[in-house]
């Protein structure tokens, strides 16, 4: 009994169902894969056998290069995996799309790439019109005039107020009293005074009759005399 027959017999005892299934290979392989595999392997072998230049003074841990390609591959895949994981959380559908570049680039584009000089014509400069310039100047002049005038007037008011104060200081007491008398006559007709409730009899108690008579005489207020005397 050959080895194959022995194994088939064993399987029939264990599971007739499995023994009945065809051993047809269901997986596919790219065309010419096995034709190219030896060369691919030898290229990798040569890459790992690069000779040292001028003698290598440095040492490398044992078996360092054995797993180097694996560790690089693992790290690369880990980075990709994290990105893929993140995208899978945010947008699973987007993550399922192949990262193929749909854009094409002209042949030798990057080879011939160079920064070109700026040959474009300078942009046209549009100036403001002359009439607009005059209007602008006129408006500025008006504003300046208003400001200067305001400052000047304000200065005059301040200086006049200070002048008035100085002038008042120069006046005598008699002149001031006269002024006050003249002012009080005017204030009699003032609506504010007429509206105020002034207790005249109380105020008049402290003024003697003679003083009152004199006052009235001086001010020619005879019409009011009877009213005061009555109170």
- Distance, CA of 9 to CA of 80 (rounded, Å): 48
Q: 11, exposed or middle or buried, with CB in 10 Å at 0-12, 13-18, 19+?
A: middle
Contact 169, 203 (CB under 8 A): no
Cβ 1 to another protein shortest distance, Å: 13
**Residues 47-66: x/- map of binding to another protein (CB under 8 A)?**
-x-----------------x
Work out how close the CB of 27 gets to another protein at its nearest, in angstroms, rounded to a whole number. 6
Instruction: List, in order, residues 6 or more apart from 185 with CB less than 8 Å away.
Output: 219
What minimum distance in Å lies between the beta carbon of 55 and another protein?
21
Write the binding mask 9 to 48 for another protein: x where contact by CB under 8 A, - elsewhere. Answer: --x--xx-xx--xxxxxxxxxx--xx--xx-xxx-xx--x
Among 69, 155, 160, 214, the residue binding another protein under the rule CB under 8 A is 69
Tell the smallest beta-carbon distance from residue 101 to another protein (Å). 19
Q: In Å, what is the CA distance from 142 to each residue of 27, 148, 149, 154? A: 94, 10, 10, 18
87 CB-near residues (< 8 Å, 6+ apart): 94, 95
Could you say which of 9, 64, 78, 134 contacts another protein (CB under 8 A)?
A: 78
Output 15 or 208, the one with its CB closest to another protein. 15
Of 53, 56, 57, 70, the residue at the interface with another protein (CB under 8 A) is 70
Q: Which residues contact 8 (CB under 8 A, 6 or more apart)?
A: 19
CA distance to 75, 148, 163, 168, 217, per residue, from 155 (Å)? 83, 10, 12, 20, 46
Position 87 contacts another protein (CB under 8 A): no
* Cβ 79 vs Cβ 87: under 8 Å: no
Q: Which of 72, 73, 153, 180 binds another protein (CB under 8 A)?
A: 73
User: 82 or 209: whose CB is closer to another protein?
Assistant: 82
Q: With contacts defined by CB under 8 A, name the span among 71-79, 97-105, 161-169, 215-223 that binds another protein.
A: 71-79
Binding residues for another protein, per CB under 8 A?
3-4, 7, 11, 14-15, 17-18, 21-30, 33-34, 37-38, 40-42, 44-45, 48, 66, 69-70, 73-74, 77-78, 81
């Amino acid at each position: 009994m050959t080895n194959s027959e022995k194994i088939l017999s064993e399987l029939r005892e264990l599971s007739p169902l499995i023994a009945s299934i065809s051993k047809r290979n269901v997986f596919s392989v790219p065309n010419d894969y096995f034709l190219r595999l030896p060369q691919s392997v030898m290229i990798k072998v040569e890459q790992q056998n690069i000779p040292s230049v001028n003698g290598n003074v440095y040492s490398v841990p044992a078996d360092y290069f054995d797993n180097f390609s694996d560790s690089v591959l693992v790290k690369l895949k880990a980075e990709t995996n994290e990105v893929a994981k993140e995208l899978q959380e945010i947008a699973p559908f987007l993550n399922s799309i192949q990262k193929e570049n749909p854009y094409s680039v002209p042949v030798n584009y990057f080879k011939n790439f160079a920064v070109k000089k700026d040959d474009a014509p300078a942009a046209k400069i549009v100036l403001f019109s002359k009439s607009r310039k005059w209007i602008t100047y006129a408006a500025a002049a008006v504003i300046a005039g208003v400001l200067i005038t305001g400052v000047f007037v304000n200065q005059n008011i301040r200086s006049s107020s200070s002048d008035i104060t100085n002038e008042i200081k120069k006046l005598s007491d008699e002149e001031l009293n006269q002024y006050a008398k003249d002012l009080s006559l005017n204030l009699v007709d003032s609506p504010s005074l007429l509206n105020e409730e002034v207790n005249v009899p109380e105020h008049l108690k402290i003024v003697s009759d003679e003083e009152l008579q004199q006052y009235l005489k001086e001010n020619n207020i005879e019409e009011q005399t009877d009213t005061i005397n009555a109170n």
